[in-house]
Amino acid sequence: SAVISQKPSRDICQRGTSLTIQCQVDSQVTMMFWYRQQPGQSLTLIATANQGSEATYESGFVIDKFPISRPNLTFSTLTVSNMSPEDSSIYLCSVAGTTGANVLTFGAGSRLTVL
């Protein structure tokens, strides 16, 4: 399966700032996804990152708050904009696997704390 590297692994941010999370995959993949895991909660899909077109956002998530880039088939970024303490979460990048279209491989996640 694909190997996913995420950066940063963790960060502490100030309210009102923005942070960009990078996701690098060791092979070309068609579908990349961004998930959020808030403290004590399950993982929630933020958006699907599409190469060559705009990301597809899930209900409750908007592009102005979570802009996503997907410049090629191995890389994507998620920006968390104008952060507030409620954005403190683990953000995970994932890709669809080759063993089954609905089997996902995940990065280790980026743990953000907003003060």
Q: Which residues bind another protein (CB under 8 A)?
A: 4, 31, 33, 40-45, 48, 56, 58, 92, 94, 96-97, 100-109
Q: How far is the CB of 107 from another protein (least distance, A)?
A: 5
Nearer to another protein by Cβ, of 83 and 109: the residue is 109
| Alpha carbon distance 108, 45 (integer Å) | 16
Q: How far is the CB of 52 from another protein (least distance, A)?
A: 13
| Alpha carbon distance 113, 76 (integer Å) | 21
| Alpha carbon distance 76, 95 (integer Å) | 11
